[in-house]
Amino acid sequence: MNVSLERYLPILDWSRRYTKATLVDDLLAAGIVTVMLIPQSLAYALLAGLPPEVGLYASLLPLICYGLLGTSRVMAVGPVAVVSLMTAAAVGGLGLVSVEQKLAAAAGLALVSGGFLLLLGVLRLGFLANFLSHPVIAGFIAASGILIALSQVQHLVGVSIEGDTLPELLHGLWLAQADINVITFALGLATLVFLFWVRAALAPLLERLGLAKRTASLLAKAGPVMAVVVGTVCAWAFELGGDGVALVGSVPGNLPALAVPRLDWAQWQQLAVPALLIAVIGFVESVSVAQTLAAKRRQRIDPDQELIALGAANIASGLSQGIPVTGGFSRSVVSFDAGAQTPAAGIFTAVGMVLAVLFLTPALYFLPKATLAASIIVAVLSLVDLSILWRAWSYALADFIATASTITLTLLAGVEWGVSVGVLASIAIYLIKASRPHMAVVGQVPGTEHYRNVERHKVITQPHVLALRIDENLFFANARFLETKVYDQIAANPKILHVILQCSAINSIDLSALESLEAINQRLFESGVRLHLSEVKGPVMDRLRRSHFPEALSGKIFLSHHLAVMELDEEDFVI
């Protein structure tokens, strides 16, 4: 009972070993993450096309839920760039006008997405996320980074455009050229330059000034916070709002009320597909961060429990007027580097965010949107890593096609098309490859018991024996291919009296393939040829024994291919 409770509530496990030292570590990490999270949560709300408070709200209850249920010790949950972009696209797709409706749609998206995650976790279906291949994810993230950066250029230059795809965004910016606000642009550009400088040069500078490497690196992460403070002070001191610089404006200083978002049935239905995609993408991003960090400390995470924890976090976000959340890469790494020991760090971060909502919101009034946009652009440009295209190209054409189609479709048709087509393309390519497996006619390497491809090696073959090695599992998609290959060989070589299939690389034979083997056996027998198998694996043989095939086989099943060739060769002499 206890074991199972601890499984579903990891807090019961780690809280028993909680010490004062752990508390200090967790509090320090939580403090640093909170300082990062305040500007990020505002920025990702902006990216999602929503008022800034939703970013703050999404950083309260979800963190507490993950802290109670999550298995990663350092994961920092909250709004993240890619998921916020997907939220913007999904909410935009509903064609809503009023801000209230958009808020309800975003919260609804979090709720449905959380429901999917929870369901997948309870049904232990986390492995389904594996059908998102690495090249598809990498291509999707890179293309999303481009879209995110481009979507923020409007705030950087003080115009307002609409669109979710590369052509739409470029076209919108082109049309809005004349409306550029010079002061906004100057402020945005300055922030951009400052943030790039912080990212590239601040940590080394601080180190040269005598700070420890870890401290220098953590301080350098506070760059966006400095930008926010300086930007806010400038906007207040020089009254930039009067010059047409867009400011965040008044942010409610109270905690969110708990409520189910008000949407009609048709809207819930429209949210289903985007919510599923957000759930899967968010889960994959979160789990890979969690696994990377856990492995460094030889800890383990449980993907199915992670689904439950992320599901609960999103449901909490949806019920408290937030947006979809997941475990983010940058904040989790900071939390890890700052020495977070348990999920309590996440709960302490949530407390810090509560204080921020209650006491800091008046100060956010003068924060320029251009500052937030600049911080988003700098953050996501590290995502735009198109080297995956080159890696895939040099490794395998199949992977390149999957990557290239994901990137192209994400940019041209939007995030939902990109990731869906990417997944389908990689599955289709895998199946098509498996449907045309590599097969080699093999012969004996002289003086050994080894058998190799006749086309690659100088080997000995017997005219009456066709020895065929199949380098793939046999299943419906390649069963008929095998039949055709064998019949073609037989039709081309009238001398053949024996066919040996070397099965060392076959891990499974399904019913279709079994029936093909039976058909081959029968048809060969009718034309005077016997079929033999060699080197059948244990589990495959167990399976074959459930059928009548071993008895129906016109030839024998040999333990080794060499034994088969030896015996059939002797037989030929007798004939």
Residues 435-474 that bind a second copy (CB under 8 A): 435-438, 456, 471-473
Helix (H) or strand (E) holding 415: helix 415-435
Q: Judged by CB, which is closer to a second copy: 233, or 491?
A: 491
Query: Is residue 508 involved in binding a second copy (CB under 8 A)?
Result: yes
Residues 332-371: x where in contact with a second copy by CB under 8 A, - otherwise, as a string: ----------------------------------------
How far apart CA 51 and CA 45 sit, in angstroms, is: 6
Taking the complex as a whole, the smallest distance from the CB of residue 541 to a second copy amounts, in Å, to 13
Tokens at 289, concatenated: 């961060």
In the bound state with a second copy, the residue whose beta carbon lies nearer, of 208 and 456, is 456
Which of 491, 542, 552, 572 is close enough to bind a second copy by CB under 8 A?
Answer: 491
Footprint (CB under 8 A) of a second copy, residues 104-163: 127, 129-136
Q: Please report, as residue ranges, which positions from 394 to 413 form the binding site for a second copy (by CB under 8 A).
A: 394-396, 398-399
Amino acid at 143: A
Positions in 251-310 near a second copy (CB under 8 A): 291-292, 294-296, 298-300, 303
In whole angstroms, the minimum distance from the beta carbon of 134 to a second copy comes to 4
Q: Is 211 in the site for a second copy (CB under 8 A)?
A: no
Min separation Cβ 264 and a second copy, Å: 30
Residue 390 binds a second copy, judged by CB under 8 A: no
Which residue in the set 27, 94, 189, 505 belongs to the binding site for a second copy (CB under 8 A)?
A: 505
Q: 530-559 mask for a second copy (x: CB under 8 A)? A: -------xxx---x--xx------------
Check: CB of residue 200 under 8 Å from CB of residue 220. Answer: no
* 485 sits near a second copy (criterion: CB under 8 A): no
462 or 473, CB closer to a second copy?
473
Closest approach, Cβ 543 to a second copy, in A, equals 7
Cα separation, 499 vs 461, whole angstroms: 12
Residue 475 binding a second copy, by CB under 8 A: yes
Whole-angstrom Cα distance, residue 85 to residue 91? 10
Q: How crowded is the C-beta side of 211, counted as CA atoms within 13 Å?
A: 14
483 binds a second copy (CB under 8 A): yes
467 backbone dihedrals φ, ψ, rounded to 5°:
-110, 120
Which H, E and C letters describe 264-283, residue by residue? CHHHHHHHHHHHHHHHHHHH
Question: In the chain, what is the straight-line distance between the N-terminal and C-terminal CA atoms, in Å?
Answer: 71
Task: Note every long-range contact of 95-99, with CB atoms under 8 Å and residues 24 or more positions apart, other chains counting.
Answer: 99/50, 99/51
Angle subtended at Cα 190 by Cα 185 and Cα 196, rounded to the nearest 5 degrees: 125
Cα–Cα distance for residue pair 393/565, rounded to 1 Å: 41
| Angle, CA 336 vertex, CA 332 and CA 337 arms, to 5° | 115
527 binds a second copy (CB under 8 A): yes
Which residue lies nearer to a second copy by CB, 199 or 391? 391
Count the residues of the shown chain that bind a second copy, applying the rule CB under 8 A. 74
Q: How many of the other CB atoms lie within 10 Å of CB of 212?
A: 10
Q: What is the DSSP string of 377-392?
A: HHHHHTT--THHHHHH
When asked if residue 7 is in the footprint of a second copy (CB under 8 A), the reply is: no
Q: Does 247 bind a second copy (CB under 8 A)?
A: no
What's the CA gap between 176 and 163, in Å, rounded? 13
Alpha-carbon distance of 102 to 31, in angstroms, equals 32
CB of 552 to a second copy, least distance (A): 13
Question: From the CB of 176, what's the least distance to a second copy, in Å?
Answer: 40
Is the dihedral angle over the CA atoms 242, 245, 246, 252 positive or is it negative?
negative
Query: Smallest gap, in angstroms, from Cβ of residue 422 to a second copy?
Result: 11
CB of 524 to a second copy, least distance (A): 8
Helix (H, G, I), strand (E, B) or coil at 454: coil
The closest alpha carbon to 326, from 58, 31, 53, belongs to 58
430, 461, 497, 567: which one contacts a second copy (CB under 8 A)?
430
Cα Rg, the chain, nearest whole Å: 30
Tell me which stretch binds a second copy (CB under 8 A): 217-225, 249-257, 326-334, 484-492.
484-492
Smaller CB separation from a second copy, 199 or 523: 523
Cβ nearer to a second copy, comparing 537 with 556: 537
Q: Give the residue with the Cβ less far from a second copy, 194 or 549.
A: 549
CB of residue 472 to a second copy, shortest distance in Å? 6
CA 140 to chain centre: 9
